[in-house]
Amino acid sequence: MPLDTIYHVNTPEGISLRLSPAGPVPRMLAWMIDILIRFAINAVLFSILGFMGKTGLGIGLIISFLLEWFYPVYFELYKNGQTPGKKTFDLYVTMENASPITPAASIIRNLLRFVDFLPLFYGFGFVSMMLTDRFQRLGDLVAGTVVLHQTHETNVLDEIKAEPITPPVSLKLNEQQALIRFYQRRPYLTDERADELARFTVPLIDKDEPKPASRLMGISSWIMGNR
């Protein structure tokens, strides 16, 4: 049983895309950034238009209405599903099948924000996100949309050089995979954490090995094909 929230979508090209839906916390933070931006725009708007008397206020009300309901719609449709807040946290909105969001879907999910916000501060939206396996709030469910994490370009780091060490026991394919994974993630780990992880592989390395991580790197390097 998978522990992560990744789900797969099959495309007409016969491959399956790996998509990772975003949970409530990054979405809430993104929403807060958007709220601040909207608040700032409103503040500037009314302080400028205030000088124009009632006409200015009228224009201000129309613009603040548009900001309230259609600010996310604009960004979702024209900026690759990313409001500024979502962009900050590398989130984006798409249809469930990972195709770009349609105008109708964007309008639905943003009009239904009102019920997601009930009874206070996105209460229903939160419950709905907890009950669905793709973290969808009510608006997402009706529109058929999801909010996904955008994966960063990870450079294939082959620069790290480790002296290849022949593994003392023969390894199964999935074990080799795990070691390659460790090898490639090594630059992102602290030395202490790397050692800690390496100690799980005790039959591979000595129990009292002083530098378990670098020894494991050597073995991984051998598996990667460096002889």
Min separation Cβ 140 and another protein, Å: 10
Q: Which is nearer to another protein, 37 or 111 (CB)?
A: 111
Position 110: which residue type?
N
Min separation Cβ 208 and another protein, Å: 30
Min separation Cβ 73 and another protein, Å: 11
Q: Are 128 and 141 in contact (CB under 8 A)?
A: yes
Measure the CA–CA gap between 215 and 227, rounded to whole angstroms. Answer: 15
Q: Which is nearer to another protein, 8 or 193 (CB)?
A: 8
Taken as a whole, the chain contains a residue count of: 227
Min separation Cβ 74 and another protein, Å: 13
Among candidates 151, 197, 184, which has minimal Cα distance to 6?
A: 151
Q: Which is nearer to another protein, 47 or 177 (CB)?
A: 177
| Beta-carbon contacts of residue 19 (< 8 Å; ≥ 6 apart) | 6, 7, 8, 9, 98, 146, 148
Q: Which is nearer to another protein, 47 or 151 (CB)?
A: 151
Min separation Cβ 186 and another protein, Å: 12
Q: Which is nearer to another protein, 68 or 163 (CB)?
A: 68
Q: Are 113 and 139 in contact (CB under 8 A)?
A: yes
Residues that bind another protein (CB under 8 A): 11, 13-15, 17-19, 53-55, 57-62, 64-65, 68-69, 80, 94, 98-100, 102-104, 107-108, 111-115, 118, 124, 138, 141-144, 151, 153-154, 156-158, 173, 177, 180-181, 184, 223-225
Residue 20, by phi and psi: left (phi above 0), alpha (psi -120 to 50) or beta?
beta
Q: Which is nearer to another protein, 9 or 209 (CB)?
A: 9
Measure the CA–CA gap between 93 and 86, rounded to whole angstroms. Answer: 9
Measure the CA–CA gap between 183 and 165, rounded to whole angstroms. Answer: 13
Min separation Cβ 210 and another protein, Å: 28
| Beta-carbon contacts of residue 197 (< 8 Å; ≥ 6 apart) | 182, 189, 213
